Amino acid sequence: MNHTAPDRYIGRFAPSPSGPLHFGSLIAALGSYLRASACRGQWRVRIEDLDPPREVPGAADDILRTLEVFGLHWDGDVVYQSRRHGRYQEVLDDWAARGLTYYCHCPRRRIAETGGFYDGHCRRLKLGADGAAVRLRMARPVYGFEDCLQGRITVPAALAEEDFIVRRRDGLYAYNLAVVIDDWDAGVTEVVRGADLLEPTVRQIALYHLLGAPEPGWLHLPLATYGGHKLSKQNHAPALDKHRPGRALWQALAFLGQHPPTVLFGAGATELLAWARSHWCLEQVPKGPHIALPCADSSHLERPALS
């Protein structure tokens, strides 16, 4: 497998402000940060505030403060998706003019009844825009891709060939659309994120092809799971403790297979990250899509025996 980095590496971390960062978020942030550092590139931060109903007031600022406390300092200005609606609409207007999108009024119930994937029902109906979602005509589906860590990934044909939504019926822009345009505009050369986004990647690659944009590399880190579910804000994963960043950083490094010295358990963020930057080894990161934790709270993970 080729792990050679491009000459000009740009990575990113893109959290949604639906709550505070937790241990699962830290794994994605730390892994992407260390990958960018190892490639002597830039690491940028984007706040994915596309979905106001799911956002928690003050969460975006809290996320940025947490990254700073944990020593994860980003390059350049923070990008907010809520300020880029005009850019997303510009792309949609171009696709509409070229006949690449259409309006869809199908409720979720109908899609569930057809097996969970949309069957193209509205493709030829020429429906109006009121209360409709916008779907992309999938003319060039992508069935798989090569992940730098997970290897060859393939997805079901029904998922790859589906005309997926690029703007929701409530007028909000879809994640797949926004993330591709944002990463393209930022010059991102490799996307490092959690393995829960492996399947949507094929749709994002299809969008890169449609836009004529250079496709980035892909590196999906294993997910931290507890009780069969990934640690997430929706599953009430506890927030990171900003008063003791060193402990969670040590645990995250251990989770990522980096074997930090026991003497550094609970050390300051600066000291731990200095060690991590000089010892980062992608080949040591576990290649499975998820790793089960004994407890949802990283503070209760197995502690090293300190001499």
Domain ranges for the chain: 10-83+222-300, 85-176
* Whether the Cβ atoms of residue 217 and residue 149 lie closer than 8 Å to each other: no
The two structure tokens encoding residue 193: 């994120």
Region of 99 please: left (phi>0), alpha (psi -120 to 50) or beta.
left
Under CATH, which number does the domain 10-83+222-300 receive?
A: 3.40.50.620
Which among 242, 276, 278, 249 has a CA at the least distance from the CA of 265? 249
Orientation angle between helical segments 269-279 and 245-255, nearest 10 degrees:
20
Orientation angle between helical segments 23-38 and 245-255, nearest 10 degrees:
70
Render each residue's pLDDT in the chain as its tens digit; 307 residues. 334 445 699 999 999 999 999 999 999 999 999 999 999 999 999 999 999 999 999 999 999 999 999 999 999 999 999 999 999 999 999 999 999 999 999 998 998 888 889 999 999 888 888 889 999 999 999 999 999 999 999 999 999 999 999 999 999 999 999 999 999 999 999 999 999 999 999 999 999 999 999 999 999 999 988 765 566 555 557 889 999 999 999 999 999 999 999 999 989 999 999 999 999 999 999 997 777 766 555 554 545 544 3
The whole-number pLDDT of residue 266 equals 83
> Residues at the annotated binding site for L-glutamate?
12-16, 48, 175, 193
Q: How far is CA 239 from CA 24, 30, 51, 289, in A?
A: 10, 16, 21, 23
Burial of 58 from C-beta contacts in 10 A (0-12 / 13-18 / 19+): exposed
> Residues at the annotated binding site for ATP?
233
Tell me if residue 277 falls in helix, strand or coil.
Answer: helix
The whole-number pLDDT of residue 232 equals 58
User: What CA–CA distance (Å, rounded) separates 193 from 14?
Assistant: 9
> Residues at the annotated binding site for Zn(2+)?
104, 106, 118, 122
> Residues at the annotated binding site?
12-16, 48, 104, 106, 118, 122, 175, 193, 233
Fold match, 10-83+222-300 / 85-176:
yes
Which among 24, 15, 12, 25 has a CA at the least distance from the CA of 59? 15
The whole-number pLDDT of residue 1 equals 35
Which among 49, 18, 44, 19 has a CA at the least distance from the CA of 32? 44
Fold of 85-176: Rossmann fold (3.40.50)
The whole-number pLDDT of residue 304 equals 52
* Whether the Cβ atoms of residue 76 and residue 44 lie closer than 8 Å to each other: yes
Q: Please give the angle made by the CA atoms of 198, 282 and 159, to the nearest 5 degrees.
A: 10
The two structure tokens encoding residue 99: 């006949």
| DSSP secondary structure, 278-293, as one string | HH--GGGS--SSEEE-
The whole-number pLDDT of residue 238 equals 84
Query: What is the pTM for the complete model shown?
Result: 0.91
User: What CA–CA distance (Å, rounded) separates 103 from 136?
Assistant: 9
